[in-house]
Amino acid sequence: MRLAFVGLGKLGKSILKGILEKGFLAPEEMGVLGRTYERSQELAAPFGLRPLRPEELAQAERVLLAVQPRDFPPLAPLLAHPGVGYISIMAGVSTAVLARRLDNRRVVRTMPNLAAVIGESSTALTATREAREAGDLDFARALFATVGDVYEIPEHLFDPFTAMSASAPAYLALVAEALADAGVKMGMPRALALRLAAEALAATGELLKGRHPAQLKDEVASPGGTTIHGLHALEARALRAAFYEAVEAATKRGHELGEAE
């Protein structure tokens, strides 16, 4: 068994689907552990994985921890095995905490985002020396490449990365909803407004791949035109400051989650 999943929520399933679609691993090379063995069977069946009991994790080369951070401390003693490498997608849980609770220094910390559902995640990686030497970091890098781009970054940047990148779909969904509501206010049918807002965000993302944001803004905002008047209104409402505060607040919460461990 090359990889065992502990938990299989929305993000875990997205990662699993990427693995299967890209042929990185075959179903028979993977297992899944749920809260109970019956739950393990329910999670495993749709994908052809092996349902697991906690003691069977020792048979895996590596374990992907996809549970909520708050659930990890009581689970850790059941999941700990000396000959296994661990890959975590839990927000705020440092490599030091992972190593201490699992009594194992082979740990890789990662932070993907929900765009893994469409193969467009940005995933941060960092690892202990022991995990690097055992090939766990290389394995994790290849694994997460199946669902998007991968960035190896220093661990002290994980909380800002989480606050900016992993949380970004929620921020931008709020922007899309607000933009659509504004269109409805001006008389546009809601279904059309929502579709236009979503298409605008998707197209803007593509355009930004080859441009600095300021360049794109200047290309759209012609002198004395509608866009520059709209931008003035946004600046008057301190849109930039709101994003500064959002990323700062989310970063601080990441620190708090880590300190709680």
Q: What secondary structure does DSSP assign to 209-227, as a single string?
A: TTS-HHHHHHHH--TTSHH
Q: Are residues 15 and 118 in the same domain?
A: yes
Check the annotation: does 41 bind a ligand. Answer: no
Check the annotation: does 163 bind a ligand. Answer: no
Q: Are residues 148 and 231 in the same domain?
A: no
Q: What does the pLDDT read at residue 255?
A: 83
Q: Is residue 142 over pLDDT 80?
A: yes
Q: Are residues 80 and 20 in the same domain?
A: yes
Check the annotation: does 117 bind a ligand. Answer: no
Write the pLDDT tens digit of every residue in 106-120: 999 999 998 998 999
Residue ranges making up the domain that contains 37: 3-153
Q: Are residues 214 and 177 in the same domain?
A: yes
Q: How confident is the model over 152-181, as a mean pLDDT?
A: 94
Q: How confident is the model over 216-222, as a mean pLDDT?
A: 95
pLDDT class of 66 with cuts at 50, 70, 90:
very high
Q: What does the pLDDT read at residue 80?
A: 95
